[in-house]
């Protein structure tokens, strides 16, 4: 691969992350330039995996796409890597940062759940799913920036759970329109609600109670993550800057007048301002 090809691949990954995960793209601005390329490769890979269920209408094509990534990481089918800039950049990041492939493979495996309309059964099941996806992404990004430490992995777990739960609630309008539900069925049942009510696209007291309970779980994980930030090296803290966006969105979703079925996308300027302000605080407040 020529230097120009590599530069083009890196630019492709940066554009992909900027378009589909702007908070993480913007957070890399606060990290040294030599670390940004590997981070953007990792985040671009995550974008590719999480977008699969948005790009297919049947599970089988999605399974095939996810299997391609699994085979690529396992060292099979590398003939197609040269034509895939994200795969090429990810392999470079794995080599340069010694990223554990088994964690990447589990991330892919967990996202197979996205392809089907099975409801998320319990809160424990949701936390397991998020631990191998959102939390894993934080942990992998941290390994690019600093050597692995137990306290970083502990922070990554709670950060990913907080971020993932907030995303589940924020995506409720879209997921419900596809008759897909990541809001745990266990919480709905406990409040006397059900799947039909969740798919109805209209807030009810029972559905709101289930959402509030899940928001409470996100708040606990965010509070824990905010406390744990003090225990990690300063150089790894920017990786966790997206927690400032989680905090902002959690406050919005928790308002009594918030309609969970009314989509709202904050502006990029708002995201940049939130991250900049958070970068100047030890607790990202």
Give the residues of the chain that fall short of pLDDT 70. Answer: 1-6, 76-80, 82
- Cβ atoms 139, 150 nearer than 8 A: no
Rounded Cα distance, 247 and 59, in Å? 33
Rounded Cα distance, 130 and 60, in Å? 23
What does the pLDDT look like over 134-191, one tens digit per residue?
999 999 999 999 999 999 999 999 999 999 999 999 999 999 988 999 999 999 999 9
pLDDT at 119 (0 to 100): 93
pLDDT at 3 (0 to 100): 57
pLDDT at 284 (0 to 100): 86
Rounded Cα distance, 179 and 198, in Å? 9
Q: How far apart are the first and last CA of the chain?
A: 44
Provide Rg for the chain, Cα atoms.
19
Neighbouring CB atoms inside 10 A of 236's CB total 22
pLDDT at 80 (0 to 100): 63
Neighbouring CB atoms inside 10 A of 267's CB total 9
pLDDT at 76 (0 to 100): 65
Q: Rounded to 5 degrees, what angle do the CA atoms 19, 23, 27 make?
A: 115
pTM for the model stands at 0.94
Rounded Cα distance, 24 and 43, in Å? 8
**H helix runs in the chain, sequence order:** 3-20, 22-27, 33-55, 59-73, 85-97, 101-110, 123-131, 134-145, 150-170, 172-177, 185-190, 195-199, 205-228, 242-254, 268-279
pLDDT at 253 (0 to 100): 95
pLDDT at 281 (0 to 100): 87
pLDDT at 47 (0 to 100): 98
All structural domains of the chain: 1-100 (1.10.600.10), 117-285 (1.10.600.10)
pLDDT at 222 (0 to 100): 98
Which residues have a Cβ under 8 Å from the Cβ of 79 and sit 6 or more positions away?
none
């Amino acid at each position: 691969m020529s230097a120009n090809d590599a530069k083009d691949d890196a630019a492709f990954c940066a554009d992909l992350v900027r378009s589909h995960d702007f908070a993480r793209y913007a957070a890399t601005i606060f990290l040294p330039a030599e670390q940004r390329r590997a981070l953007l490769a990792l985040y671009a890979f995550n974008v590719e995996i999480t977008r699969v269920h948005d790009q297919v209408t049947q599970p089988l094509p999605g399974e095939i796409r996810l299997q391609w990534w699994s085979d690529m990481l396992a060292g099979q089918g590398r003939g197609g890597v040269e034509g895939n800039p994200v795969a090429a950049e990810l392999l470079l990041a794995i080599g340069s940062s010694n990223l554990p492939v088994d964690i990447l493979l589990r991330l892919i495996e967990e996202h197979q759940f996205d392809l089907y309309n099975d409801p998320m059964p319990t809160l424990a099941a949701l936390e397991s799913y998020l631990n191998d996806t959102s939390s894993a992404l934080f942990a992998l990004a941290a390994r690019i920036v600093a050597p692995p430490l137990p306290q970083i992995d502990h922070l990554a777990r709670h950060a990913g759970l907080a971020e993932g739960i907030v995303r589940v609630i924020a995506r409720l309008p879209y997921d419900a329109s596809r008759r897909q539900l990541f809001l745990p069925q266990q919480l709905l049942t406990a409040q006397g609600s059900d799947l039909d009510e969740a798919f109805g696209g209209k807030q009810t007291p029972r559905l709101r109670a289930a959402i509030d309970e899940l928001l409470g779980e996100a708040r606990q994980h965010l509070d824990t993550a905010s406390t744990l930030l003090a225990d990690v090296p300063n150089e790894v803290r920017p990786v966790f800057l997206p927690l400032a966006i989680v905090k902002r969105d959690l406050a919005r979703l928790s308002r009594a007048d918030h309609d969970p079925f009314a989509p709202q996308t904050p502006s990029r300027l708002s995201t940049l301002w939130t991250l900049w302000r958070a970068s100047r605080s030890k607790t990202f407040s």
